[in-house]
Amino acid sequence: MNFFNFKVLGQNLFLLDIDITFCRNFFKKEDGDDILAELLNDIKWRQEKINMYGKELDLPRLTAWYGNDGKTYTYSGIIMKPEPWTPTLLLIKQKVEKITKATFNSVLLNLYRDGKDSISWHSDDEAELGKNPTIASVSFGATRKLVFKHKFQPNHKMELELEHGSLLTMKGTTQHLWKHQVPKTKNPVTARVNLTFRTVY
């Protein structure tokens, strides 16, 4: 298994302020293929809406929220009540917890159906995730780009290709100081499912 540790040396006050780990082949290809097929079929995917300038718009991806009972999550005005863990989600969670030595009580799933689906600039900094959240992000399906941009030094940017079966962790002050996005792409891409394991307090 290949692990990459990124520490970007910023200027002025921003020393070692991104804390991410990336493992390219966390799941074997064949295991990832099976998991992807199951997640596409079995997850209760939802089309959420957001209010933009007084208009109701479809979120440009499908989402789902699974987790421990009572761990409701709110972002962009969307209130998500957890579906109970499925055996496959629990297996993925256990594998992620073992390697990260962290524990998680919920997972946000995103389904990017094609290149028109995306997630725009944001940080995972909702109050219920605590001060310095550890987030573990597992990807299956098409490779999509995740771009990081520093909040206070916007010329500091970095990109990662999140491949089938990869694991990315984000920790420490990463959410305070960096935003991230999965941009739309004109490349022909098939479906991608991303799972971000979180702890909701």
Chain residues that interact with ligand AKG, rule: CB under 6 A: 108, 110, 119, 124, 137, 146, 162, 180, 182, 194, 196
Give buried/exposed letters for 96-120 (b at 16+ CB in 10 A, else e).
beeebebebbbbbbbbbbebebbbe
Residue 62 main-chain phi, psi, to 5 deg:
-100, 150
Q: State the binding partner of 200 from Mn ion, ligand AKG, none, CB within 5 to 8 A by kind.
A: none
Closest approach of ligand AKG to the CB of residue 12, in Å:
27
DSSP collapsed to 3 states, 137-175: EEEEECCEEEEEEECCCCCCEEEEEECCCEEEEECCCHH
Closest approach of Mn ion to the CB of residue 30, in Å:
28
Of the candidates 21, 22, 8, the residue with the CA atom closest to the CA atom of residue 153: 8
Interface with Mn ion includes 124 (CB under 5 A)? yes
Closest approach of Mn ion to the CB of residue 28, in Å:
26
Interface with Mn ion includes 125 (CB under 5 A)? no
Task: Give the integer Cα–Cα distance in Å for 27 and 167.
Answer: 8
Closest approach of ligand AKG to the CB of residue 168, in Å:
7
* Burial (Cβ within 10 Å: 0-12, 13-18, ≥19) of residue 187: exposed
Stretch that binds Mn ion, among 13-21, 40-48, 122-130, 187-195 (CB under 5 A): 122-130
Interface with Mn ion includes 31 (CB under 5 A)? no
Query: Is the Cβ of residue 18 or residue 162 nearer to ligand AKG in the bound state?
Result: 162
Q: State the binding partner of 110 from Mn ion, ligand AKG, none, CB within 5 to 8 A by kind.
A: ligand AKG
Q: State the binding partner of 108 from Mn ion, ligand AKG, none, CB within 5 to 8 A by kind.
A: ligand AKG
Task: Give the integer Cα–Cα distance in Å for 94 and 156.
Answer: 34
Q: State the binding partner of 100 from Mn ion, ligand AKG, none, CB within 5 to 8 A by kind.
A: none
Q: Which residues bind Mn ion (CB under 5 A)?
A: 124
